[in-house]
Amino acid sequence: MSLVPKNHWALTKARYQRGILSGIYNNSWPANLHIQSIAPTYENLEPMMDKMSVLWHWKDQERHNEEALRKKLAQSGTALYSLRDSLEEKPEVGYALVSAPPISLKQRFWPAANDIGVLEVNNLGMFPGNEGGGRGKAYFEMIFDRHYKDNDIVYWSQHETHAPTLTRFYGEKMQMELLATDRVPDFRGSDQNDISRIHTKPPRKTGTLVSQLT
């Protein structure tokens, strides 16, 4: 059975705010780049996910089955964004889906701080042919800028499948903290039932949430 690494990343508001002051993150961007909020419906999401799945097989993940997605999209706090670049012939160059994380996720990483606001970036990706050029970081920053008003943590998981170099991007350029790494079945065709978990480091369970992650 083929297993692939699944990394769990997090960024606290405190670290983000320090990064704004030090220049790691931007809070202004080129005028051609913006995120457009669209109604979080399956009918809006499906064609964008179809584009991503041509190369990246996102729809093959169990969590992306229609029933689960419709349930997530109907939850309070879920937001769907079109990532746009007005200089492109086709301005929509990607999409992002964000929501509150499942209870199981909060219990795993932040068991002593369930009153803290956590936002999960379920998907943020550029459509095939639109990768590169630094736009991905800008769109992440736009999500941060919009959602840290109501949240203390942004969480993001990443499968090392087609783009293992993203690990360096999240860790070095985005300055996210790697909470843990799991070994999970390759969703591009392998068995989805058996999951072997390894931690790069155990989740911290003492202190406040901000001290855990900053």
Measured distance CA(96)–CA(40) in Å, rounded: 11
Amino acid 144: pLDDT: 96
Amino acid 193: pLDDT: 38
Range list of H helices, 57-186: 66-73, 103-109, 135-147, 166-168
Location of structure tokens 């360096």: 168
3-state secondary structure of 45: helix
Amino acid 211: pLDDT: 27
Q: Report residue 38 CA to chain centroid gap.
A: 18
Q: Report residue 186 CA to chain centroid gap.
A: 18
Measured distance CA(55)–CA(128) in Å, rounded: 7
Which domain range does residue 48 map to?
A: 3-213
Considering its fold, how many domains does the chain have in total?
Answer: 1
Measured distance CA(146)–CA(148) in Å, rounded: 6
pTM (predicted TM-score): 0.83
Cβ-contact 196, 6 below 8 angstroms: no
Amino acid 163: pLDDT: 64
CATH number for the domain that contains residue 99: 3.40.630.30
Tell me the C-alpha to C-alpha distance, in Å, between residue 184 and each of 88, 103, 141, 194.
36, 20, 28, 7
pLDDT tens over the chain, length 214 residues: 688 888 999 999 999 999 999 999 999 999 999 999 999 999 999 999 999 887 767 777 777 789 999 999 999 999 999 999 999 999 999 999 999 999 899 899 988 766 789 999 999 989 988 887 789 999 999 999 999 999 999 999 887 765 667 888 899 989 999 999 999 887 765 443 333 333 344 443 322 232 233 2
Amino acid 204: pLDDT: 36
